[in-house]
């Protein structure tokens, strides 16, 4: 018997669920390039944010908002009490020896072509990206911090290492602006298939294009820290996905098993999606 998980009982197809969760949350999301709306507060008055929203804005929130027209690196004339910054930003700025390269015309055109964003929106997102990542790239520590902010109190350190593979598509150990924007746009506006293809990379630990039984078990072990997944579910999911029974699940097999709403496979995919819309 497949372990009970709330999303599995829904009658809506995975396509509808993915579309609704990434594009129709508690309030209609702003389009990429527009200002994000503040999320509501919980019963304790603490703001909850999804990882998607945190990624689309900035990883390190400061007590003040930054004027979009403010030049990077320019000193503000506001009193010191209004210019408090996170320790991360202070360290990044003071100890970074190299300045991030400016956004090239090639980068702008590439992101525009692959996301449908206007030039102004791309440039705005890059300025926000630099405020969070002054070196011009995001490192694994930055992602771990964002995930911890999204899921406070949860043990997400090793899970973050798996999620990292969704963004670091060229496996160079850092996420540049192109990679960041492409992954973010798929999460927010991409099709169910596009989202599932990204999710596959989370399970493919050695990035060889196939998920073996041990890899699936290792990732699910980390997912279980956010909500129990029993061994029977893992075994059933692997059998559903491994259509040709060769001991490895390809990206196409993974996507098809989920789109066909096979119970255990869909349950695991939804566990991952829930991480990005938590809050």
Phi, psi torsion values for 138, nearest 5 degrees: -100, 135
pTM over 0.85: no
Domain boundaries, the chain: 12-23+48-59+97-276
Q: Provide the CATH number for the domain formed by 12-23+48-59+97-276 in this structure.
A: 1.10.238.10
- Round to whole Å and give the CA distance between 275 and 111: 25
What angle separates helix 213-223 from helix 263-276, to the nearest 10 degrees? Answer: 50
Give the pLDDT of the chain (279 residues) as one tens digit per residue: 444 444 444 445 544 554 554 444 444 444 444 433 333 344 444 444 565 665 555 433 433 333 444 343 444 454 444 444 455 454 444 444 456 678 999 999 999 999 999 999 999 999 999 998 899 999 999 999 989 988 999 999 999 999 999 999 999 999 999 999 999 999 989 999 999 999 999 999 999 999 999 999 999 999 999 998 999 999 999 999 999 999 999 999 999 999 999 999 999 999 999 998 765
The two three-digit tokens of residue 110, written as one number: 């590439």
Angle value at C-alpha 103, between 177 and 87, nearest 5 degrees: 60
Short-list 232, 230, 252, 227, CA closest to 241? 252
- Round to whole Å and give the CA distance between 171 and 65: 33
């Amino acid at each position: 018997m497949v372990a009970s998980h709330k999303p599995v009982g829904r009658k809506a197809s995975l396509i509808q669920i993915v579309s609704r969760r990434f594009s129709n949350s508690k309030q209609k999301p702003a389009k990429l390039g527009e200002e994000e709306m503040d999320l509501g507060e919980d019963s304790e008055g603490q703001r909850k944010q999804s990882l998607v929203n945190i990624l689309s804005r900035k990883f390190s929130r400061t007590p003040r908002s930054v004027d979009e027209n403010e030049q990077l690196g320019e000193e503000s004339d506001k009193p010191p009490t209004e210019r408090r910054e996170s320790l991360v930003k202070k360290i990044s700025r003071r100890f970074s020896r190299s300045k991030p390269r400016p956004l090239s015309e090639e980068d702008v055109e590439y992101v525009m072509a692959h996301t449908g964003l206007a030039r102004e929106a791309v440039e705005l997102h890059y300025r926000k990206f630099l405020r969070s990542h002054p070196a011009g790239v995001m490192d694994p520590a930055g992602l771990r911090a964002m995930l911890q902010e999204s899921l406070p109190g949860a043990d997400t350190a090793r899970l973050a290492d798996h999620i990292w593979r969704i963004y670091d598509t060229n496996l160079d150990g850092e996420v540049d602006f192109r990679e960041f924007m492409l992954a973010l746009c798929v999460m927010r506006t991409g099709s169910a298939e596009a989202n599932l293809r990204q999710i596959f990379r989370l399970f493919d630990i050695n990035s060889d294009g196939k998920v073996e039984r041990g890899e699936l078990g290792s990732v699910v072990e980390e997912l279980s820290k956010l909500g129990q997944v029993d061994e029977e579910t893992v075994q059933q999911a692997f059998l559903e996905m491994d259509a040709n029974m060769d001991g490895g699940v390809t990206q196409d097999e993974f996507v098809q098993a989920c789109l066909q709403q096979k119970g255990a496979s869909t349950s695991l995919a939804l566990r991952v999606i829930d991480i990005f819309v938590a809050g």
